[in-house]
């Protein structure tokens, strides 16, 4: 049998209020490498966990503005300078006709750019998550799962297990590299 090393600890909660209270207690106790896996968003969880406000909406706004400028620039270049055409005596730079394409370009740039930035930013997360396919947590169905990573500076397996149990969590178990439970 090959030796395994613990990657973290899991504990289940069944009510969102219990999970929210537990997140605040985990943060107050000084744990920094933890996360909650939940079946739906819980209002106030970011504050309870001490997470900073996301910067991605600002990037999305800048990308949307770039899409607007790109669409307006391209349409004005083509319709005014490169290939001006007379459509029933309307002016060459008829901006109301440019609105549909401008809107589509804005959505396209903002959506794809934000998705790409979010993927890149997500790769920068240094806190290891529980092995998704090996640990059956129920987090996508009916449970709120606390995960404390073994990379936390406070990590001590016995103390972490006692702490998670003191929060009132059910199904507390240590997770090893193979995905099994130590406890």
pLDDT at 1: 36
98, 123, 148 — which closes off a domain? 123
The CATH number linked to 11 is: 3.30.70
Phi, psi values for residue 173, rounded to 5°:
-155, 145
Domain span including residue 135: 6-52+128-176
Entry pTM = 0.68
For residue 58, CA distances in Å to 55, 108, 110, 115 come to 6, 16, 10, 13
What value does the mean pLDDT of the chain take? 86
Show pLDDT as tens, one digit a residue, over the chain (183 residues). Answer: 344 577 889 899 999 999 999 999 999 999 989 988 888 989 999 889 988 888 889 999 999 999 999 999 999 999 888 888 877 888 888 888 899 999 999 999 999 999 999 888 877 766 777 766 556 667 778 889 899 998 889 899 999 999 999 999 988 988 886 544 444
Same domain, 13 and 101: no
């Amino acid at each position: 049998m090959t030796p395994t090393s613990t990657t973290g600890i899991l504990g289940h909660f069944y009510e969102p209020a219990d999970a929210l209270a537990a997140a605040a207690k985990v943060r107050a106790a000084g744990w920094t490498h933890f996360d909650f896996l939940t079946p739906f968003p819980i209002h106030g969880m970011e504050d309870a966990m001490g997470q900073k406000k996301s910067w991605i909406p600002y990037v999305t706004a800048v990308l949307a503005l770039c899409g607007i400028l790109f669409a307006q620039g391209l349409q004005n270049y083509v319709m005014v300078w490169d290939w001006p055409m007379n459509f029933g005596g309307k002016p060459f730079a008829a901006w109301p006709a440019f609105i549909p394409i401008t809107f589509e370009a804005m959505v396209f740039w903002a959506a794809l750019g934000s998705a790409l930035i979010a993927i890149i930013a997500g790769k920068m997360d240094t806190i290891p998550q529980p092995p998704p396919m090996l640990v059956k947590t129920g987090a996508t169905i009916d449970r709120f799962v606390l995960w404390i990573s073994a990379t936390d500076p406070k990590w001590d397996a016995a103390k972490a297990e006692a702490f998670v149990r003191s929060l009132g969590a059910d199904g507390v178990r240590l997770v090893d590299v193979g995905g099994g439970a130590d406890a």
